[in-house]
Amino acid sequence: MKKFILVIYFIVFPIFGSDQGNVSHLNNIDIWWEDYGNKSNPPVLLIMGTNANSKMWPQELIDGIEENNFYVINFDNRDVGKSTWFSKEPLLIKVLKILPTSITEYFVEQMFSLMLDEEGKFRMNPGGSALYDLNDMALDAVSLLDHLNIEKAHIVGASMGGMIAQVIALEHPERVLTLAPIMSTPGFDTENLPGPSKSFTKSLKVTFIQNLEGKEREANLTTQRALSGTRYPFNEESFGKRLNLILSQGNNLYSGHLAAVGISPNRFHRLKEIKVPTLVIHGSEDPIIPLEHGLAIVNQIQGSNQMIIDGLGHEIHQEIIPAITKKLVDHFNSVK
């Protein structure tokens, strides 16, 4: 699973959050968090995805939820942002940076052949070794709720954050009011679910080389462009202006998030245990976690609802935020 860390750096979203924040020592690490709204209102906990810090949640989404009389909590997962980092640049990456481009490209091809199986799906390694797993990350979130004296919350997770949200609902169901996985999966190795698109895999190789060459901005642009669907074309100028603010929160290019995903057990069959109201949100053109993954979650959780957004990629685009906000608020309000 360490190979995952070497191949996929981070997945970003085009909007950033506010400048407020706190650091608390929770679950034996430091967690950076911020909150919005009246603490007496029903709480909503936001969990971001792989290698992505908290500033990647659209501020319009946070404000929209808060304005509908909810108390919103946003935080940096471990190993990114301003929370405790565990992972540093691997020795192999340092070596690759000084090798000729032709040799580097050969190694990248070899790493990708190890990362993907014959069907083009990410290889998982349940029971393998890593610095932490999704259960540890779920405990971080629950510890934050404890710190804030919150008994139950609406749990919303994007991408890997949606996986962490599933773990919370399975392992700590008493802490969950409602569940909302956004562009997430029950497990990359779930039988009969497709892997990432070939075009996205190709873009990851380009991104990898760009980062090795020190072209961090170009790598971010390449990744975000590849994640976008056809409904809302990627606006390079707009994203470029926001990039400094996203990076200023702290992005660990070598976080152990993908390793954590890889060693954690597949959740597909256990999803039937989840009894809380669930809303699954997914784009029809998601290139890294195809729509079938979101539909699998819907089919496994009895009584769950879905919001499938035609033409949307692996993104929370600004133009669709009002519709997502309304759907989430209605979902939260279904619990009295």
Instruction: Give pLDDT tens digits for 210-269.
Output: 888 888 888 988 999 999 999 998 888 877 777 777 888 998 888 999 999 999 999 999
Q: Which range has the worst mean pLDDT, 22-36, 72-86, 125-139?
A: 125-139
d(CA 186, CA 261) in angstroms, rounded, equals 11
| Token reading at 22 | 């706190």
Mean pLDDT for 59-70 is: 97
Return the bridge partners of 22, or none.
Answer: 33
| Token reading at 289 | 């976690």
Per-residue confidence (pLDDT) for residue 17, from 0 to 100: 36
* pTM, to two decimals: 0.91
Q: Which range has the worst mean pLDDT, 31-45, 120-134, 136-150, 269-283?
A: 120-134
What is the H or E stretch that residue 46 is in?
strand 43-47
Q: Residue 276: how many CB atoms within 10 A of its CB?
A: 18
Q: Are 217 and 243 in contact (CB under 8 A)?
A: yes
Q: Which range has the worst mean pLDDT, 28-37, 210-219, 314-323?
A: 210-219
CA dihedral in degrees (74, 55, 28, 187; nearest 10)? 80
Per-residue pLDDT for 18 more than 60? no
Per-residue pLDDT for 286 more than 90? yes
Per-residue confidence (pLDDT) for residue 100, from 0 to 100: 85
d(CA 43, CA 36) in angstroms, rounded, equals 10
CA angle 19, 246, 94 (to 5 degrees): 130
| Token reading at 131 | 């610095």
d(CA 17, CA 29) in angstroms, rounded, equals 22
What percent of the chain is modeled with pLDDT above 70?
94
How many structural domains are present in the chain? 1
Q: Are 315 and 282 in contact (CB under 8 A)?
A: no
Higher pLDDT, 238 or 132: 132
d(CA 72, CA 205) in angstroms, rounded, equals 37
Residue 251 sits in a domain whose CATH number is 3.40.50.1820
d(CA 329, CA 318) in angstroms, rounded, equals 17
* Helix, strand or coil, per DSSP, at residue 248: helix
- Domain span at residue 122 reads 1-336
Per-residue confidence (pLDDT) for residue 29, from 0 to 100: 98
Write out pLDDT tens, residues 157-194: 999 999 999 999 999 999 999 999 999 999 999 999 99
The per-residue pLDDT of the chain, averaged, comes to: 90
Per-residue pLDDT for 283 more than 50? yes
d(CA 101, CA 6) in angstroms, rounded, equals 17
Mean pLDDT for 199-219 is: 88
Per-residue pLDDT for 14 more than 50? no
